[in-house]
Chains A and B, each alone.
Chain A
């Protein structure tokens, strides 16, 4: 319970600092307070003045933070400049799409990555190890954006790209972890006592590596979200990755910073959950 509280406090603190930094960046970015509408040549002086009055309060940094915090606490995440729609509405529409892609990508990436790693540890064949390392090495060398394009060209399901991005990282880290775990004295003793390979794997190798594998799961969530940007942008998937790309091209800073804070919250939550699970496993082992 104490650990849970600690993680919750850490999460809230990190998000507050992150939100504060995001707001500062928005406030200090070149062009802040200038509305594109002001460039409309049909507007007269009075209209331009009233438009510039709208952001006058935000000129003061303290007022800006207060307004920003107040709005966020009331669930008002502001208005997207480029899409002319409330940010909260855009997020509620697009977040499920990205979560679906990320969940599928992570599930497939993890199943294939960990299976390959287990196979490498069990079979202990040089050719299998070399082949899987080669495949994962090539996968690591191709940017997510290129994978997305190749999938569009091949008319393959675009959501699978995330699995290809996650797979090599899962394989290389988990393989190293499992190899190290398999070399420990208690595992060798279990082998010597005549336990079957599957039993040794499930009872001795995997539990030893479980906390680190859980930490890797937390990291892979962040990797999948990062890869979602080029994949959704180039494959025309209506998720928050595509939204972030559009916001970046249109310099829609409110939307972009809100998206970044939201994704940070999700990855922090995933990391905290994995860390808590890992420490629980470690505690029960001790």
Chain B
């Protein structure tokens, strides 16, 4: 299985490198419209063809991958940080605070994820610029995705509270904050890292779902959601199998994340 994991990491690195260098690698800007070449099949000039507005599909895939691959980890980082703060501190302090936090995470977790996202997304302005929509989408994912991770981190912090090394540090005169900062939080790092990796594919999938429902990143900025949205034009798909390439790439990228985290979460 090790070779599979290595393959997944190499593939992710390649995709990340290609998307980060999209400004140089992409045949055109993602919003540039070749009006005389709308709905064009793959050619030397446009390896994945063009969409109904004449935009180069490969460029859109590269730029869209960049948006998702940069911002999903950013959202995962935000949610892991929130989970660490909420779960780590409450688990370490225990008592009523822990009970309140567990009740709050219960409430969060009992809400179906997409319903919660739709509700909060609808409360924010919908007609916004593409850049703002990107920020709103991924910030929402980061701010609302902490509950599951907080529950796990809280349980781990609770166990650590009674661990021998913490008792020893306490006996040596370590104060509450120092104990938390120097002894508990560093030991929670593996579990936070595992939660971070777990969140990335979940957020990529959720952004794709939101994008396909028209509540994600807005046009003309591409993202996985808006790229997969092209599959909605049913008549176009039947004669254009290359429209499935973004989906194929998406599945491989998300699958690679799953493969990486399968072994990444073991040490936690």
Instruction: Name A residues whose Cβ lies closer than 8 Å to a Cβ of B.
Output: 14, 17-18, 22, 25-26, 29-30, 137-138, 140-146, 149-150, 152-153, 222-223, 225-227, 229-230, 233-234, 244-245, 247-249, 251-253, 256-257, 259-260, 263-264, 267-268, 271
Q: List the count of A-B residue pairs having beta carbons below 8 Å apart.
A: 129
Stretch binding the partner chain, chosen from B12-20, B90-98, B162-170, B210-218? B210-218
> A141 contacts which of B107, B214, B228, B255 (Cβ < 8 Å)?
B255
Is the Cβ of B112 less than 8 Å from the Cβ of A14? no
Which of A141, A230, A245, A251 neighbours the largest number of chain B CB atoms within 10 Å of its CB? A141
Instruction: Name B residues whose Cβ lies closer than 8 Å to a Cβ of A.
Output: 103, 106-107, 109-116, 118-126, 201, 205, 208-209, 212-215, 228, 231-232, 234, 237, 247, 250-252, 254-255, 258
Determine the chain A residues whose CB is within 8 A of the CB of B258 once the complex forms. Answer: 137, 140-141
Determine the chain B residues whose CB is within 8 A of the CB of A138 once the complex forms. Answer: 251, 255
The smallest beta-carbon distance between A265 and chain B, in angstroms, is 9
Task: Name the residue on B nearest A148 (C-beta).
Answer: B212
Is the Cβ of A229 less than 8 Å from the Cβ of B247? no
Is the Cβ of A251 less than 8 Å from the Cβ of B212? no
Residues A260 and B231 in contact in the complex (CB < 8 Å), given A138-B251, A146-B247, A251-B122: no
Determine the chain B residues whose CB is within 8 A of the CB of A150 once the complex forms. Answer: 231
**A226 CA to B125 CA in the complex, in Å?**
22
Determine the chain A residues whose CB is within 8 A of the CB of B119 once the complex forms. Answer: 22, 25, 248, 253, 256-257, 260
Determine the chain B residues whose CB is within 8 A of the CB of A145 once the complex forms. Answer: 208-209, 212-213, 228
The smallest beta-carbon distance between B203 and chain A, in angstroms, is 12
Residues A247 and B122 in contact in the complex (CB < 8 Å), given A142-B251, A143-B212, A146-B247: yes
**A234 CA to B247 CA in the complex, in Å?**
17
**A141 CA to B234 CA in the complex, in Å?**
22
**A251 CA to B255 CA in the complex, in Å?**
34
Determine the chain A residues whose CB is within 8 A of the CB of B205 once the complex forms. Answer: 141, 143
**A271 CA to B110 CA in the complex, in Å?**
8
Task: Name the residue on B nearest A226 (C-beta).
Answer: B112
Determine the chain B residues whose CB is within 8 A of the CB of A245 once the complex forms. Answer: 118, 213
**A230 CA to B209 CA in the complex, in Å?**
7
Which of B106, B123, B231, B251 neighbours the largest number of chain A CB atoms within 10 Å of its CB? B123
**A264 CA to B113 CA in the complex, in Å?**
10
**A270 CA to B163 CA in the complex, in Å?**
36
Residues A264 and B123 in contact in the complex (CB < 8 Å), given A229-B118, A230-B212, A245-B118: no
